[in-house]
Every structure is written in structure tokens, then in C-alpha cells.
Structure 1
């Protein structure tokens, strides 16, 4: 039931932001050159530069979050191996303890 509500909300948000973007592009048709320290970009509209900056920012954020995700997955694998090794060692010690108790009990 909540899936359709989530989809509707996402659709409304996407339509809203697209409408704001189109309105911004229509209201700001002037061309501006992008002048950085070592590079001067072509004359493009303000809206296009803003859309490009948001797109580059989203890509950088996805890349950084993917790196963090891969690091955490690697750490989970390492810790799982350590846990399994410790669990095996505890099982071995328990078996040795039970065997020792049984052999002492028979005497």
C-alpha cells in the first residue's frame, strides 16, 4: 500500500523540480562565459551551467559513496573471517574440554 504512495510522492517531486528547472531556464536565457583560473569555458546559459554542476556533484557523491560502501563491505568480510576463526577455536576448545571431562570421569 505504501509503495504506490512512495511512487506518487517521487513522481510529484520529480515533476516539481523539472518545472522549477524549466522555469529557471526560461527566466534566465542570457549566456555567460565560465571563467576559471586556468580555463575559460564557452558561453552557455546559466541554467545549463547549474544543471552541469548538479550533475557533476551527483556523480562525485555517487563515486565517494561507492568507495565507502566497498570499504565497509571489505571490512565486513575481514571481520566475518575473524569471527569464524574465533568460533572454530572456541568449538575446538569446548570439544577438548568435554573429552577431558569424560576421560577424567571414567577413571
Structure 2
């Protein structure tokens, strides 16, 4: 129904964040060397390190959320099976109750 509005808003947001990224890269041309405890990184621009950090964080967040998603999907399947078994049991009890009433009524 409002798919076109969602697409327009998504496109505007993507263009906005790309513009911010380009502006950040232009305003921060400094070359730095990343020095971690056990690793010395190559000399790259601040913007490139920021983009790499953002990309790494997004990948980690995607991995963690996919694990949670898969766990929830498994739990949904288990609960659906339990629900189906309970429905079958209720149907069997209803049928047994109806047949009992019919047999009592014939006597």
C-alpha cells in the first residue's frame, strides 16, 4: 500500500548518510596509523578507518541478530508443534464427548 513511500524515505536516508560520509571524508583527510596492542595498522585516512569500523560493527550486529532470529524461529516451530498436538487432543476429546452423549441418548 505505502511501499512507494517506504522506498522514497529509504532512498532519502541512504543519500543523506552517504552525503554525511563523503563530507566527513573530505573534512578529515589526515593520515593516521592505527596502533593496537598486538598489531600496527597501515597508514590510512581517518575516514577510511571510521568506515571500516562501522562496517565491522554492522557485520557483528548482523551476525548476533541472525543468531537470535534463528533461535526464535526454532522456538516458534517447537511451540507450533505443541499447539497442533494440543488441538488434536482437544478435537479427540470433543469427538469422544459427542459419541458418549449420542450413546447415552440412544439408551
Q: Same fold (TM over 0.5)?
A: yes
Number of matched residues? 107
* 3-state SS of paired residue (1:37): coil
Paired residue for 2:45?
45
TM-score scaled by length of structure 2: 0.89
The CA distance in 2 between the partners of 1:79 and 1:17, in whole Å, is: 41
> Which position in structure 1 is the counterpart of 2:101?
101
Q: Matches of 1:2 and 1:77 in 2, distance apart?
A: 31
Aligned to 1:17: 17
> What TM-score comes out, normalization by structure 1 length?
0.89
- CA–CA separation in structure 2 for the residues paired with 1:10 and 1:85: 43
**For residue 26 of structure 1, what is the aligned residue in structure 2?**
26
Kindly report the root-mean-square deviation, in angstroms, between the aligned alpha carbons of the 2 structures: 1.5
Displacement, 1:7? 2.5
Q: Distance in 1 between matches of 2:31 and 2:104?
A: 92
Distance in 2 separating the partners of 1:98 and 1:2:
49
SS where residue 38 of structure 1 aligns? coil
